């Protein structure tokens, strides 16, 4: 039964992702904004909001012990950027390779890609540093959390400010297909677009909740700690399914939207959520936490290096997948 729930949830997520990407393309086209803003801000934040509630619920509203709540919350907070920087990029490369070959070229708008990675690296490094700040330094952690929030606000400002120039350079958002809601008789206007955005996001959330339910009932058979389980399972159940948007876009050749959907979520998940963890949890160094942070930074730094070389190919993203494999092996067997 749990397997059937997982399968049905995946189907719902696929339908929601298709509706969501189609409506966002129309939304971005109607507003006259760049693909970078559509992918890195609207798509990334829109799909990241549901799983953002997992650590908030675990830390603030759960009825479990404080240690358990903190482990689940920290696992969810750190697992999301880890999943994005490793498996999400690998899967995007895999599906791109099926059409273009492993040595084909991925062509996201380079300045936005580089900007997202730069801001993520700065923000996540600050979160890593905070792990080693002694608990008795009470004033330091709130300052670091405030700095992370400020970093994200500045990132948003820079991303939106660059939109006009990118549109002029030919990187404006364009819809590939008619708005799906027009097929059921609704007019092609902003209200219908927003309605489809809501429907798509609602289906994604519903599917993700079903996915979580199925995983929760299968997970006890695996016999791992709450922190390890949170790092491994929660991001798969909440973050990865929503990145199907990127797979849809990469298969359509919309590389800027596909990459921005991932990197924009990385900046969001790597700045605002660690700020929450720094303020509300113990946020201390543990083996699983340190390995997750290390593999996230290795994968993100590697991507930054590849982007600076000027050519991104699907074969390059195999390294990101290997980073995740190394993390799993380290937490389960070391």
Tell whether the model's pLDDT for residue 301 goes beyond 80: yes
Residue 82 to residue 300: CA distance in whole angstroms: 9
119 torsion bin: left (phi>0), alpha (psi -120 to 50), beta (else): alpha
What's the pLDDT band for 303 if we cut at 50, 70, 90?
very high
Q: What string of H, E and C letters represents the secondary structure of 225-251?
A: CHHHHHHHCHHHHHCHHHHHHHHHHHH
**DSSP character for 60?**
I
The string of DSSP letters for 77-135 reads: HHHHHHHIIIIIHHHHHHHHHHHH-TTS-B---HHHHHHHHHHHHHHHHHHHHHHTS-T
- CB-CB contact of 78 with 289 (8 Å): yes
Residue 329's H or E segment, with its range, is: helix 318-333
Query: What are the residues whose beta carbons fall under 8 Å from the beta carbon of 229, sequence distance 6 or more?
Result: 75, 219, 222
Chain-centre distance for alpha carbon 287: 23
Percent of the chain with pLDDT over 70: 72
Residue environment code for 32-53, b if the CB has 16+ CB neighbours within 10 A, otherwise e: ebbbbbbbbbbbbbbbbebbbe
Residue 33 to residue 162: CA distance in whole angstroms: 10
Q: Flag the least confident range among 37-46, 168-177, 235-244.
A: 168-177
Q: What is the pTM of this model?
A: 0.78
Confidence at residue 295, expressed as pLDDT on a 0 to 100 scale: 96
Tell whether the model's pLDDT for residue 282 goes beyond 70: yes
Structure tokens, 168: 């002029």
CA-closest candidate to residue 250, choices 100, 40, 110, 115? 100
Query: How far apart, in Å, are the Cα atoms of 133 and each of 79, 143, 204?
Result: 21, 12, 37
Tell whether the model's pLDDT for residue 186 goes beyond 90: no
Residue linked to tokens 């902003």: 190
Confidence at residue 314, expressed as pLDDT on a 0 to 100 scale: 95
Top-confidence residue, 34 or 60:
60
Give me the mean pLDDT over the 240-268 stretch. Answer: 82
Q: Flag the least confident range among 85-99, 108-122, 164-178, 203-217.
A: 164-178
Confidence at residue 171, expressed as pLDDT on a 0 to 100 scale: 45
Tell whether the model's pLDDT for residue 157 goes beyond 80: yes
The overall average pLDDT reported for the chain is 80
Q: Is the dihedral of CA 45, 49, 54, 57 positive or negative?
A: positive
Query: How far apart, in Å, are the Cα atoms of 258 and each of 20, 44, 201?
Result: 13, 10, 17
What's the pLDDT band for 316 if we cut at 50, 70, 90?
very high
Q: Per-residue pLDDT tens for 45-103?
A: 666 666 666 667 667 755 556 666 677 778 878 888 999 999 999 999 999 999 899 99
């Amino acid at each position: 039964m749990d397997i059937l729930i997982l399968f049905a949830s995946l189907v719902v997520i696929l339908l929601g992702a298709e509706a969501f990407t189609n409506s966002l393309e129309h939304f971005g086209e109607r507003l006259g904004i760049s693909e970078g803003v559509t992918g890195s801000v609207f798509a990334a934040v829109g799909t990241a909001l549901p799983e953002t509630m997992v650590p908030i619920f675990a830390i603030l509203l759960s009825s479990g012990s404080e240690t358990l709540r903190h482990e689940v919350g920290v696992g969810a907070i750190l697992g999301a950027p880890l999943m994005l920087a490793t498996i999400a990029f690998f899967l995007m490369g895999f599906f791109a390779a099926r059409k273009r070959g492993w040595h084909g070229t991925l062509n996201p708008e380079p300045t936005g890609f580089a900007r997202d990675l730069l801001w993520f690296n700065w923000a996540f490094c600050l979160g890593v540093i905070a792990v080693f700040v002694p608990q008795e330094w009470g004033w330091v952690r709130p300052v670091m959390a405030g700095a992370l929030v400020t970093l994200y606000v500045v990132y948003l400002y820079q991303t939106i400010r660059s939109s006009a120039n990118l549109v002029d350079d030919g990187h404006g958002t364009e819809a590939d297909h008619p708005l799906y809601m027009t097929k059921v008789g609704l007019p092609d206007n902003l209200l219908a677009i927003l309605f489809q955005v809501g429907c798509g996001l609602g289906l994604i959330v519903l599917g993700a909740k079903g996915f979580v339910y199925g995983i929760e009932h299968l997970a006890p058979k695996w016999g791992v700690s709450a922190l390890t389980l949170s790092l491994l399972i929660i991001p798969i159940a909440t973050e990865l399914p929503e990145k199907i948007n990127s797979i849809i876009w990469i298969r359509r050749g919309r590389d800027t939207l596909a990459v921005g959907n991932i990197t924009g979520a990385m900046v969001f998940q790597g700045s605002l959520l660690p700020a929450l963890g720094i303020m509300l949890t113990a946020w201390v160094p543990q083996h699983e936490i340190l390995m997750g942070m290390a593999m996230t930074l290795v994968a993100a730094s590697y991507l930054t290096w590849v982007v600076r070389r000027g050519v991104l190919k699907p074969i390059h993203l195999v390294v990101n997948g290997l980073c995740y494999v190394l993390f799993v092996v380290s937490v389960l067997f070391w």
